[in-house]
Every structure is written in C-alpha cells, then in structure tokens.
Chain A
Amino acid sequence: MIEFKDVRLSYNGHTVLDGISFTVRFHDKIAIIGASGVGKTTILKLIVGLERPDDGKILINGQDITRLSESQLRDPRMNFSIVFQEGALFDSLDVQENVAFCLRERGILSEEDIEKKVKELLRRVDIEQAIKLMPEELSGGMQRRVAIARSLAACDPGPRMMLYDEPTTGIDPITADNICALINELSSGVPPDRTGLIIVTHDVVNAAKVAERFLYLKEGRIAFDGDLPALKSAEDHDLRRFIKGILTPAGERET
C-alpha cells in the first residue's frame, strides 16, 4: 500500500505539492491527471524515492521512505516498475542491452538465460523485431514498449505496481491505443492479485481506458478523487474543461 500523508514539496520557493494526502493499494488502477507542471511526475518520483518531500510522510507497506538512504530504498523500489516519458532508454545501449541491463547488473543469470529472458520480454510487449536497434532508431511508441519491457525485467518475479509517466504523450492515436491495450494487459487479472498501475497524464481520454480511479491535481492539491462516473459528473469548472475529451460522445470526437 502507498500512503501519502500531508506531503509538501517546493522547488526554488515555488510550491509544487501543498499537503497532498492519499492512499493507494498495489492492485489499484489510478490515473493522476492535471495540467502540465502541477507535480504529477513529482508524485511518481516521490513514490520510488527519487525525490524527498520537504514535509510529510510517504509510506510504502507501512515503511516511511522519506528518510531512507539509496541502499535502503532498494527493497521498497522492488515493488514498482517505472516507465518515464519517452522511455528514458540508455542511448548508448541497443534494445537488447537496455532490457538486459538489470539482469546483468544483478549477476544471477547466465548470458544464455539473459538472452532468453530478453527475447521473452520483448515478445510480450510485441517488439521482438527491434532487438538490435539503437534507441534513436525507434519511434516514440516503440521506445515506450522497450521501456516497459526493461522495467518488467527490473523486478523479479514481477512488479506489484506499474508507474507510467505520460505513456501516450506525443504519439499518434493508434499507437497510443496499442500502448493502452498493453498497459491493460499487464494489469489484467482480479484484485488483489493483479499488478496495479498509476498513470500520470494530461491525456484524459487514454487515461479513462486504463484507470478506475482518478486524482485531479490543481495548484498543488488534490482537487478531485473518484471513479470515472464521478469524474464525469464533477462540477468543478476547471476540471470539466480538462476532461472535455471524455465528456464529448465518442462519435462526435471521431468526426
């Protein structure tokens, strides 16, 4: 379980998060939505301990991670796989080496087993054909797929929760749809056994395809927390403008 308790964070005097509190179970499917720069990605970074809050607590399975050292963060981080915007692939390594990175770092598997595992993961995300390509040779959608495969390789036996940072931003609608299908496939199953997900995005239409609960961030605070029907019937003016894409009937959107 992830618990944020009155988390506050500022950069250079600018308040990003102003007392955020929420609780998420590992099998939940959450979308954190909001305009650019409201601190959505920061929340993901706080969950995996890449940032530290100025104040407040972040509990992962009851353990406060806000003051843990890098080595102490290793175990809490094993619960998560994170996919950053545009993949964050290591640009000096090809696709195979990117996905194999964690497996090699751990030093448990033989080279033969690593190769098998990499191929299996790339097949799972349907990008086996790109195994020898360099990151700059991949399209945006392909980079996201490779990043997902690499993140899956990082957690053994598998992550309890996937964290996605803008997974559909900057790619065409068909590729975005395919990415959403992959995200849903990786988080399929019945709670509490399924792999949960947190997706941070301003693409509400695609967020609605994968998430069951929505948190709307506004001015450093959570202005809305609820499911899709509640989101659609929310009365906040800014929120309604933000989710206009899912309020318009699908047929009208297509025309």
Chain B
Amino acid sequence: MRPRELVIELQNFYVLSFKSLLGVFRRPFYLRDTIEQMDYAGAGSFFIVFLVSLFIGMALTLQISKELSSLGLNMYAGRIVGISIIREIGPVAIAFSYAGRMGSGMTSELGSMVLGHQVDMLRVFGTDPVKKLVTPRVVSSTIMLPALTVIGDAISLAGGYYIATFVVHQSGSFYWSQIRGILNFQNIFPGLVKPFLFGYLIACISCYTGLTTRGGARGLRRATTAAVVLSTVTVIAADFVLTRALIFLL
C-alpha cells in the first residue's frame, strides 16, 4: 500500500470510529440490534472464553509453581498467578479469543452485506450504515468484552486453584488468601479498563475491514484475515501503551 493510500485508509478508519461513537447519542437508536449483538457476543462467546481461561489459568499455575518451588517460594504462586491473570494475561487472552470469534464474524457478515449490495440498499433507503451496523457492534463489544474478561479471570483463577491444590499440593485456602491480597485498586483497575478499549478497537477494526471489502469471495477472505491480524496486533500495541500509562498514573 502506498503512503497516500495508507493515510486515506487511516483517515477513513478514524472517521468511522468517531461516527460509531456519535451514533450512540443520535437518533434513531437501534436498541434491538444492539441487544442481539450483545447476546451473540456475550452468551455466544461464553464457552470459548471458559475453555481459554481455564487452560491458561492451569498452565500458568503449573509453570509458576514449578519455578517457584525450585527457589522454595511456591507459597507465592497464587499471588503471581493472580496479578498476571487480572492485570495482563486475562484481558489480552480474552481479547484475542474475542477477535477470533466476534471480530472475524463481524467482518465476514458486513463484507457479505457489501458484496450482496445490502449496504447499498441501506444507503438508498436513507439509513446510515454506520449507525445501523457499526454502532450496535461497537457498543456491544465495548460492554461485553469487559464482562467476559471478568468471567474469564474468575475461571482462570479457579483453574489455578485446581492445579495449586490437587497437582502442586498447596493449601487451597492459602492460594485464595494470596489472591484476595492482590485484589486492590492498582491491580483491578488496569484489568478492567483494558477490555473496554480492546472491545472498541476490535469492533471498529472488524467493521471497517468488513465495510471496505472488495473483490468477491477472495476479497472477503482477505478482509476477514486482515481484521483478525490487525485486531490482534492493535490489542498488543494498545496493551503496551495502556500498561505504560496506567503504571505512570497509578
């Protein structure tokens, strides 16, 4: 892509992202579409979030316990697992799962609507495609990803508890007391703020790539791949920037 085209793409992306937010405050409000999207994003994603979180929690606890036990410090496993999950790994891992499931779905749905002239029809009918299609997806992602992250964090910690108690043979109550010890503002706040931003970014990127799909089935494949790749890279980059900013602020 040439520099000029890249600048135009970025400009169009910013405009779409901004308009999707404006849509929240301007009539008409597509409440039914938003609730449908929230149901699909939330309840529909629960199973994948459950699996991803459970295995991450268990694997992380195994790794950390092994390293700490060689140093004779395995009583700190719960504390380190808790901080890692709540502040960093939980939000990022759930965001990746969300981008893979919901982001690719948004892109392919909107892309096929573009290719099938359904978006053209919306414009002809005087309906703003950004308000009708993008805003409900952005709102639902911005609300549901934090909710999924909280659930995912809890499942990860439960997975860690299972490993700590039944595999590494630590005291379960000690594990939970370690977790309770790190549940303070400095740890919880970053873990809750990040998913809001990640949800917004994933929805904007996925909708933008969907609405700019060109070139039939091959174009749709390219758009869907691009949406997942861009979302993943953007989440990692945003995570770094946000972590840096939050460490500085808190």
Contact = CB atoms under 8 A, between A and B. Distances in A.
Q: Do A and B bind each other?
A: yes
Interface string A96-136: 00000110010100000000000000000000000000000
A98 to B, nearest CB: 10
A88 interface: yes
Q: Assign chain B's interface to a size class.
A: 10 to 19
Contact of B116 (A70, A82, A86, A101): A86
A22 interface: no
Q: Which of B116, B124, B127, B128 lies at the interface centre, i.e. has the most chain A CB atoms within 10 A of its CB?
A: B124
Interface in B120-137: 120-121, 123-128
B118 A70 contact: no
A82 B124 contact: yes
Contact of B120 (A80, A84, A105): A84
Interface in A22-50: 45, 48, 50
Contact of A77 (B117, B118, B126): B126
Interface string B85-122: 00000000000000000000000000000001110110
Given A105-B28, A107-B28, A74 B116 contact: no
A170 to B, nearest CB: 14
A97 to B, nearest CB: 11
A148 interface: no
B117 A84 contact: yes
Interface residues of A, number: 20
Contacts of B128: 70
Nearest to A105: B127
SS of A interface (majority)? loop
A74 B124 CA distance: 8
Interface in A118-169: 154
A91 B115 CA distance: 13
Given A77-B126, A107-B28, 12 more contacts: A45-B120, A50-B120, A50-B123, A82-B124, A84-B120, A88-B120, A90-B121, A91-B116, A91-B118, A102-B125, A105-B126, A154-B125
* Cβ-closest 10 pairs across A and B: A88-B117, A84-B117, A102-B125, A74-B126, A88-B121, A50-B120, A154-B125, A88-B118, A48-B124, A105-B127
A90 B124 contact: no
Contacts of A88: 116-118, 120-121
Nearest to A147: B121
A104 B167 CA distance: 60
Contacts of B118: 88-91
Contacts of A90: 118, 121
B34 to A, nearest CB: 14
Contacts of A45: 120
B124 A154 contact: yes
Nearest to A80: B124
